[in-house]
């Protein structure tokens, strides 16, 4: 029996999310459609450098790209929630400081100019 030979794994395909020009991982689909029964035509654009390109990829690659896009959207949603929490916390801190320094009174909470009573008092 001869030496054991390992099967060669094919080199991983480059991700469609990564821009071949600038290497940023923010390439998004602009347009797509079925090319034939096993492939997709996709127009891609890099959000970092603006480069556009068109590709025809097999279904498996398109599905992997879809998963990568979903993961990226999840990261964006998580970052947005974090930023919203930070912004609300900062606003609460400013409000608490204004209350502490007695900078607010009832007039600050009066209805807008549509309230005739608040308008007369000014």
Q: 17-36 pLDDT, tens per residue?
A: 999 999 999 999 999 999 99
Tell me what pLDDT residue 12 has.
Answer: 58
Structural domain includes residue 122: no
pTM over 0.75: no
Does any domain span residue 116?
Answer: no
Residues of the chain whose pLDDT is less than 70? 1-13, 113-122
Give the per-residue pLDDT at 112: 73
> Is there a domain that residue 10 lies in?
no
100 falls within a domain: yes
Give the pLDDT score at 106. Answer: 87
Residue 37 lies in a domain: yes
> Which runs of E-coded beta strand occur in 1-122?
27-34, 39-46, 52-58
Number of domains in the chain: 1
Q: Which domain holds residue 56?
A: 27-104
Residue 7 lies in a domain: no
Is residue 49 assigned to a domain? Answer: yes
- Domain assignment present for 86: yes
Amino acid 76: pLDDT: 94
Cβ neighbors of 39 (< 8 A, separation 6 or more) are 56, 57, 58, 59
């Amino acid at each position: 029996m001869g030496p054991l030979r390992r099967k060669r794994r094919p080199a991983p395909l480059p991700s469609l999310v990564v821009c071949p020009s600038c290497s940023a991982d923010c390439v998004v689909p602009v347009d797509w459609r079925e090319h034939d029964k096993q492939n997709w035509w996709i127009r891609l654009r890099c959000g970092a450098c603006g480069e556009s390109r068109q590709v025809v990829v097999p279904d498996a690659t398109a599905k992997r790209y879809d998963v990568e896009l979903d993961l990226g959207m999840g990261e964006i949603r998580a970052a947005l929630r974090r930023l919203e929490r930070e912004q609300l916390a900062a606003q609460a801190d400013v409000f608490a400081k204004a209350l502490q320094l007695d900078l607010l009174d009832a007039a600050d909470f009066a209805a807008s100019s549509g309230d005739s009573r608040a308008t007369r008092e000014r």
